[in-house]
Chain A
Amino acid sequence: MMTEPEHSDLALPPEITRMRRLAIMPAYNEEGSIGAVIDEIRAFDPNIEIVVVDDGSADRTSKIARSRGVHVVTLPFNLGIGAAMQTGFRFARANDFDLAVQIDADGQHDPSELPAVLAPLLAGEADFVVGSRFTGDPAFRSSFTRRLGIHLFAVVVSAIAHQRLTDTTSGFRAVNRRGIALFAADYPHDYPEVETTVMVIKHRLRVKEVPVRMRERAAGRSSITALRSVYYIFKVLLALFVDLFRPSDAPAEDA
């Protein structure tokens, strides 16, 4: 079903092309951007497989994605980003992928940053890589509340991790098999980014941040408003606090 254009993996190191790699794209009403984002990823890396997890969209998201010949998992109703991402990781585990990278369907994540995000996994330096907007990208702009929240989480999570992390809310992230197995088994519900970072640390997976540039959304609107930012901050802090009192989890089994 995959119709791949003739294209050389120019910017990708050869180690990457030997890995079975999956781009997980959670999408909720993203008909305006999803086609272009898929095309762009394909143009950059024709052999990456893409799974679009349509989280109960009311628009033509699934239809457009399917017409591009990618894997499409259509959830029967909206489950939220956490459950949608977990669906993607379950797909990755069931289909035996080596690497999985989360790419947002709104066009924020630049596929040309893929090698940077995947490199630490290939080098065996990390099991979980986050594309950070703060290590070396002064152009990144966001609202005051969001920046406050992001920095607050960075401080808290860095303390838990005993490692300096600058951007725990970034959605541009990649995992190897260990990460896929962990996330397929367990994934937080809403606003999962910070919690997954802590989860990964608790399971003694290695975390690494790489600097990436992010773009403006191609279409649609961010789901994060000022009021939700406040809820986000408290919800995540509560989750992190409760997590401290949980028994230390065993390392994830290799699937």
Chain B
Amino acid sequence: MTPFKVTIIASFVAAVILGIVFELIRRRRLRERYALIWVVTGVVLLVLALWRRGLNTVAGWMGVKTYPPSVFFAAILLFVLVLLLHFSIVLSRLSDQNTTLAQRLALFETDVLEREQKKDADEEPG
């Protein structure tokens, strides 16, 4: 059996993560969809911290008998990978939109500038 101390530390860390997420949502620094991901992550961590036998139980379901924490590491790794892929997608979309915005702004600027120059030229003949 793992010492009681570990449970306290792990729970504390999970609680802090949940607190940070809550604060970020409160200040509207996180969009809802990300907020949801991180709230769920925090809750899962907290549950695993409090429910000491949980990890072993879950590992048992999956047929892992030798080293139960490996299930946890595998899950975390997968989660992080999927999240990174998601961020790459978001980043690609944002930079495409950014490019389009920059192009439109620059073309608009040129148009305005040339109209002004044309107007000036028309007003001062000769």
Q: Residues of A with Cβ closer than 8 Å to B? A: 1, 53, 71-77, 79, 83, 86-87, 90-91, 94
Contacts and interface: CB of A to CB of B under 8 A. Distances in A.
B70 interface: no
B105 interface: yes
Given A1-B114, A1-B118, A1-B121, A73 B99 contact: no
Contact of B102 (A1, A71, A76, A91): A76
Chain A interface, >50% SS class: mixed
Nearest to B103: A87
The 7 closest A-B pairs by CB, nearest first: A87-B103, A73-B110, A83-B99, A73-B106, A75-B106, A1-B117, A76-B102
Contacts of B23: none
Interface of B: 99, 102-103, 105-107, 109-111, 114, 117-118, 121
B111 to A, nearest CB: 8
B120 to A, nearest CB: 9
19 contacts: A1-B114, A1-B121, A71-B110, A71-B114, A73-B106, A73-B107, A73-B109, A73-B110, A74-B106, A75-B102, A75-B106, A76-B102, A77-B102, A86-B103, A87-B107, A91-B107, A91-B110, A94-B107, A94-B111
A77 B41 CA distance: 38
Contacts of A86: 103
Contacts of B118: 1
B103 A75 contact: yes
Contacts of A73: 106-107, 109-110
Nearest to A95: B111
B114 A87 contact: no
A90 B110 CA distance: 12
Nearest to B111: A94
A76 B106 contact: yes
Contacts of B106: 53, 73-76, 87
B99 A79 contact: yes
A74 B102 contact: no
Contacts of A77: 102
B117 A79 contact: no
Nearest to B121: A1
A21 B119 CA distance: 24
A83 B103 contact: yes
Given A1-B114, A71-B114, A76 B105 contact: yes
A94 B121 CA distance: 23
A83 to B, nearest CB: 5
A73 B111 CA distance: 9
B40 to A, nearest CB: 33
B109 A74 contact: yes
Nearest to A87: B103
A87 B103 CA distance: 6
A90 B117 CA distance: 21
B107 A79 contact: no
A77 B117 CA distance: 24
A1 B117 CA distance: 7
A72 B105 contact: no
Nearest to A51: B110
Nearest to B101: A76
Nearest to A78: B102
A78 to B, nearest CB: 10
Given A74-B110, A75-B102, 19 more contacts: A1-B117, A71-B110, A71-B114, A72-B110, A73-B106, A73-B107, A73-B109, A74-B106, A74-B109, A75-B106, A76-B102, A79-B99, A79-B102, A79-B103, A83-B103, A86-B103, A90-B103, A91-B110, A94-B111
